[in-house]
């Protein structure tokens, strides 16, 4: 049996209730082996609960879940020996040092005394924590905690790693460090299932994404597929000279094969595009014909827009207890604005 | 890669080809990830040992916790010997012969409550989630921790005995009697700790764990033969004292130290240990495995 021809996670009709709360309410998931699978959802969507069931920490109330071919209820030990979980909140002994925590986990997974020591040192080195190795974990910064927590999860490199909101609350540098770690894990052959409430994180990191809300999967697919579901993006063009607009419209219609919308701004026009590929050629046509473009932007629908289209409201909008801001959209927009500014200057 | 979990030395020699992310950390990271070592599952004994080691590391890193453990017995011994000794017996020194084995038992019984407290803390901090997700022998986490705590009980016990000797405690059973008494007491303490573990898992906060444990332990220690001879007590209280497991332990410890122990007295202690283990260990494990 090889990893390649099986699903890493196979969940159907999963239900988990806490009293009256249906935290997970009929989730279906098919996670292919290899790569990163993103579970995207706002606060209280049921991400943590789903992951805890998959990691055998909670027993489901309904439905079935198989992880790496093993049933999470009946074959919990087989699952445990091949998966690892980095929970949403740090789960190490804060009184112990980083080294001691890792040695402890290595010993519990069968490493001999000296091998455990070596493994701990190697991991701390790889996660840039050698300096803090001897310090109690409670003295670590948020980013260091996240890293040691992930390191603790790969003392024995797992075939499947669950990462529950690995970057929530991290600064951009720590965030990108965690992203690098995830990419390295995947390159090493580990399947990563991560949850996030950051839309750009799922977009950039995950090969496939499941969007969940109120304990249900409301959409699933690659980031591109999700965007396509909502309709393509749009090419927005602004010209220097309003007189050139009719010609520009004609050229773009010809190049992209779709009608052009003339906007109320006399120098602006937009074209709905489902595929970005012919766009550069279309813009090149304009330049060749002497139409002077002052600025353009290719508006890929963001996952925010996807969320909006799927649910009719922005992510996390209905959650009163939402204390973690969704920075996905604002970041994306900032990036877009920066790109525009650059083009403007050029 | 095959994904059977058979532990094999050859796994060590089978690095996974991994494209290296272009930064320094990434390079070292790929190296540690390349090790797909899957050592054999540790034995139950080794897993218990590792958890015991953790309990000892805690003492090293948080030595304050030993303060409660040591200050309390010293205080109790001094207070009872000199405050009540004259009133309860002919002289403080006479009282000490009677009282020291009892204070030893009550001190250690008190300390066992901290085991439940530690467990509660582990659950709150998420440490138990990580431990529970490991494929180790399930009771190891609890048994190991409790064995580590036995080291703490022994430390406190030695302190009380040393203090007693300094104040004039002279056990007729000699060193052997004292050591045997200590062993019996440690066995009982280990068994008793299962009860606090249950509180540690069922209750939400450390405060409530300590509060409820106290509520159980206080009547047990005061309604016993630790401080006074029960023959002066009213009949109903004597009946309680007679069935109280703490009384049985005190009687046996006193007997071993003064070389007057009977097989029946020891039998009662072993019976209580068996009852505590047979009833409360499975309940604890059930709660622990609950998910
Ligand atoms: N142990 C529990 N007892 C009672 N209710 C719970 C428990 N765990 C989760 N819930 C409830 O189940 C729902 C889903 O929670 P869950 O933690 O899975 O959400 P989440 O998607 O991880 O959210 P977040 O982004 O805030 O971490 C919430 O309404 C939560 O209040
Ligand atoms: Mg969560």
The structural domains of chain B, with segments of one domain joined by +, span 43-290
Contacts of A115 in chain B (CB under 8 A): 39
User: How far away is chain A from the Cα of B92, in angstroms, using its nearest Cα?
Assistant: 42
> Would you give the end-to-end CA distance of chain B in angstroms?
32
Quick one: pLDDT at residue B227? 84
Q: Which percentage of chain A shows pLDDT scores above 90? A: 50
For residue A128, pLDDT beyond 50: yes
Instruction: Assess contact for A232 and A275: CB atoms under 8 A.
Output: yes
Rounded-to-integer distance, Cα A227 and Cα A294, Å: 28
Confidence class for position A171, pLDDT limits 50, 70, 90: confident
User: How far away is chain B from the Cα of A52, in angstroms, using its nearest Cα?
Assistant: 9
Confidence class for position A271, pLDDT limits 50, 70, 90: confident
Ligand at shortest distance from the CA of A24: 1
pLDDT top residue among B7 and B83: B83
User: How far away is chain A from the Cα of B3, in angstroms, using its nearest Cα?
Assistant: 6
Lowest mean pLDDT among A51-55, A165-169, B62-66: B62-66
Confidence class for position A315, pLDDT limits 50, 70, 90: low
Quick one: pLDDT at residue B26? 66
What does the pLDDT look like over A174-191, one tens digit per residue?
888 889 889 988 988 899
Q: Is the pTM of this model over 0.90?
A: no
**H or E element in which residue A190 lies:** none
ipTM strictly over 0.95?
Answer: no
Query: What number is the average pLDDT over the span B221-246?
Result: 88
Instruction: Assess contact for A46 and A215: CB atoms under 8 A.
Output: yes
Top mean-pLDDT range of A127-131, A247-251, B219-223, B273-277? B273-277
Confidence class for position B178, pLDDT limits 50, 70, 90: very high
CA neighbor of A132 nearest in space, from A99, A154, A106: A99
Query: What number is the average pLDDT over the span A305-311?
Result: 71
CB contact under 8 A, A91 and B135: no
Which stretches of chain B are DSSP H helices? 24-34, 44-61, 65-79, 85-88, 92-124, 127-132, 140-167, 174-202, 206-222, 235-243, 245-258, 263-289
CB contact under 8 A, A184 and B34: no
Q: Which of residues 109-138 of A touch B (CB under 8 A)?
A: 109-112, 115, 119, 122-123, 125-128, 136
CB contact under 8 A, B42 and A110: yes
Atom of ligand 1 at shortest distance to CA of A46?
18
Q: Exposed, middle or buried: residue B96 (CB in 10 Å: 0-12, 13-18, 19+)?
A: buried
Pick the CATH number of A232-300 from 1.10.3720.10, 3.40.720.10, 3.30.70.260, 3.40.50.2300: 3.30.70.260
What does the pLDDT look like over A210-227, one tens digit per residue?
999 899 999 899 988 887
B37 shares contact with chain A (CB less than 8 Å): yes
Q: Tell me how long chain A is.
A: 346
pLDDT top residue among B216 and B26: B216
Q: Which of residues 57-96 of B touch A (CB under 8 A)?
A: 57-58, 61-62
What does the pLDDT look like over B98-110, one tens digit per residue?
889 998 999 899 8
Give the binding-site residues of ligand 1, using a 6 Å CB cut-off. Answer: A 18, 21, 23, 41, 43-49, 88, 197
| Cα angle for residues B141, A150, A196 (degrees, 5° grid) | 115
In sequence order, which residues have a C-beta less than 8 Å from that of residue B185 and are 6 or more positions away? B104, B105, B108, B153, B157, B249, B253
What does the pLDDT look like over A83-99, one tens digit per residue?
999 988 878 999 999 99
Which candidate in B30, B58, B125, B135 is best for mutational testing of the A interface (most A CBs within 10 A)?
Answer: B135
Which candidate in A49, A107, A154, A163 is best for mutational testing of the B interface (most B CBs within 10 A)?
Answer: A107
B275 shares contact with chain A (CB less than 8 Å): no
User: How far away is chain B from the Cα of A339, in angstroms, using its nearest Cα?
Assistant: 25
CB contact under 8 A, A157 and B3: no
Quick one: pLDDT at residue A263? 78
**Distance (Å) from CA A49 to ligand 1 centroid:** 6
For residue A340, pLDDT beyond 50: no
Residue A238 φ/ψ, nearest 5 degrees:
-120, 135
Lowest mean pLDDT among A163-167, A234-238, A342-346: A342-346
Contacts of B142 in chain A (CB under 8 A): none
Best mutation site among A49, A86, A328 for ligand 1, i.e. most ligand atoms within 8 A of its Cβ? Answer: A49
For residue A3, pLDDT beyond 50: no
CA-nearest residue, atom 12 of ligand 1 = A23
For chain A, what are the domain ranges?
A: 4-226+330-345, 232-300
Architecture of the structural domain at A4-226+330-345 = 3-Layer(aba) Sandwich (3.40)
CB contact under 8 A, B33 and A154: yes
Quick one: pLDDT at residue B23? 56
Query: What number is the average pLDDT over the span B258-275?
Result: 94
Confidence class for position A342, pLDDT limits 50, 70, 90: very low
A159 shares contact with chain B (CB less than 8 Å): yes
Quick one: pLDDT at residue A8? 92
CA-nearest residue, atom 16 of ligand 1 = A46
Best mutation site among A42, A44, A45, A202 for ligand 1, i.e. most ligand atoms within 8 A of its Cβ? Answer: A44
For residue B118, pLDDT beyond 60: yes
Quick one: pLDDT at residue B226? 86
Query: What number is the average pLDDT over the span A334-345?
Result: 46
**Distance (Å) from CA A137 to ligand 2 centroid:** 22
CB contact under 8 A, B135 and A77: yes
Average pLDDT across chain A, whole number? 84
CA-nearest residue, atom 11 of ligand 1 = A23
Quick one: pLDDT at residue A300? 64
Residue of B nearest to A162 (CA): B133
DSSP B139-201: THHHHHHHHHHHHHHHHHHHHHHHHHHHHT---TTHHHHHHHHHHHHHHHHHHHHHHHHHHHH
CB contact under 8 A, B25 and A177: yes
CA-nearest residue, atom 2 of ligand 1 = A18
Residue A139 φ/ψ, nearest 5 degrees:
-90, 0
Quick one: pLDDT at residue A231? 66
Rounded-to-integer distance, Cα A158 and Cα B86, Å: 67
Lowest mean pLDDT among A57-71, A227-241, B2-16, B191-205: B2-16
Quick one: pLDDT at residue A14? 95
CB contact under 8 A, A57 and B28: no
**Among candidates B30, B40, B133 on the partner chain, residue whose Cβ is nearest the Cβ of A184:** B30
**Distance (Å) from CA A230 to ligand 1 centroid:** 28
């Amino acid at each position: 049996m090889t990893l390649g021809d099986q699903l890493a996670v196979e969940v159907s009709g999963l239900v988990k209730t806490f009293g009256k709360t249906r935290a997970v309410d009929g989730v279906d998931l098919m996670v292919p082996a290899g790569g990163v699978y993103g579970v995207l959802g706002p606060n209280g969507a049921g991400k943590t609960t789903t992951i805890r069931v998959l990691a055998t920490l909670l027993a489901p109330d309904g439905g079935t879940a198989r992880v790496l071919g093993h049933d999470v209820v009946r074959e919990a030990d087989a699952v445990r020996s091949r998966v690892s979980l980095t929970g949403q909140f740090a789960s190490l002994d804060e009184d112990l040092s980083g080294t001691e925590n890792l040695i402890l986990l290595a010993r519990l997974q069968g490493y001999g005394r000296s091998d455990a020591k070596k493994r701990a040192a190697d991991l701390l080195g790889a996660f840039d924590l050698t300096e803090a190795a001897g310090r109690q974990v409670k003295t670590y910064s948020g980013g260091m905690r996240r890293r040691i927590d992930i390191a603790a999860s790969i003392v024995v490199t797992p075939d499947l790693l669950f990462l529950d909101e690995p970057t929530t609350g991290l600064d951009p540098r720590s965030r990108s460090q965690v992203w690098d770690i995830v990419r390295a894990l995947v390159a090493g052959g580990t399947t990563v299932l991560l949850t996030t409430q950051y839309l750009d994180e799922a977009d950039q990191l995950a090969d496939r994404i499941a969007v969940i809300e109120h304990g249900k999967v409301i959409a699933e697919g690659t980031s591109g597929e999700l965007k396509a579901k909502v309709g393509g993006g749009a090419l927005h063009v602004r010209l220097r000279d309003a007189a050139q607009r009719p010609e520009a419209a004609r050229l773009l219609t010809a190049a992209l094969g779709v009608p052009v919308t003339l906007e109320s701004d006399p120098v602006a026009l937009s074209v709905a595009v489902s595929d970005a590929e012919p766009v550069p050629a279309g813009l090149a046509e304009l330049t060749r014909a002497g139409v002077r473009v002052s600025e353009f932007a290719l508006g890929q629908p963001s996952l925010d827009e996807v969320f909006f289209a799927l649910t009719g409201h922005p992510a996390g909008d209905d959650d009163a207890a939402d204390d973690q801001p969704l920075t996905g959209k604002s970041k994306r927009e900032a990036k877009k604005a920066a790109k525009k500014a650059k083009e403007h200057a050029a | 890669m095959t994904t059977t979990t058979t532990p094999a030395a050859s796994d060590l020699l089978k690095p996974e080809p991994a494209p290296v992310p272009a930064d320094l950390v990434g390079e070292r990271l790929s190296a540690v990830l390349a090790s797909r070592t899957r050592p054999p599952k540790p034995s139950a004994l080794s897993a218990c040992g590792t958890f015991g080691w953790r309990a000892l590391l805690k003492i090293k890193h948080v030595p304050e916790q030993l303060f409660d453990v040591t200050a309390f017995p010293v205080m109790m011994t001094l207070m009872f010997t000199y405050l009540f000794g004259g009133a309860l017996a002919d002289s403080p020194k006479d009282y000490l012969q009677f009282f020291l084995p009892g204070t030893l038992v009550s001190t250690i019984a008190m300390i066992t409550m901290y085991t439940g407290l530690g467990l509660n803390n582990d659950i709150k901090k998420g440490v138990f989630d990580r431990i529970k997700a490991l494929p180790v022998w399930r009771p190891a986490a609890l048994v190991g921790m409790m064995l580590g705590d036995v080291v703490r009980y022994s430390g406190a016990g030695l302190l009380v005995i040393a203090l007693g000797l300094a104040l004039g405690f002279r056990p007729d059973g000699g060193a052997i009697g004292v050591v045997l008494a200590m062993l019996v007491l440690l066995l009982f303490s280990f068994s008793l700790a299962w009860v606090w573990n249950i509180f540690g898992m069922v209750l939400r906060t450390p405060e409530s764990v300590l509060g409820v444990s106290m509520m159980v332990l206080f009547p047990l220690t005061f309604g016993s033969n630790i401080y006074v001879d029960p023959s002066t007590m009213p009949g109903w209280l004597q009946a309680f004292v007679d069935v109280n497991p703490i009384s049985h332990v005190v009687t046996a410890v006193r007997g071993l130290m003064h070389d007057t122990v009977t097989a029946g007295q020891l039998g009662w202690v072993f019976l209580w240990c068996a009852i505590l283990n047979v009833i409360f260990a499975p309940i604890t494990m059930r709660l622990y495995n609950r998910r």
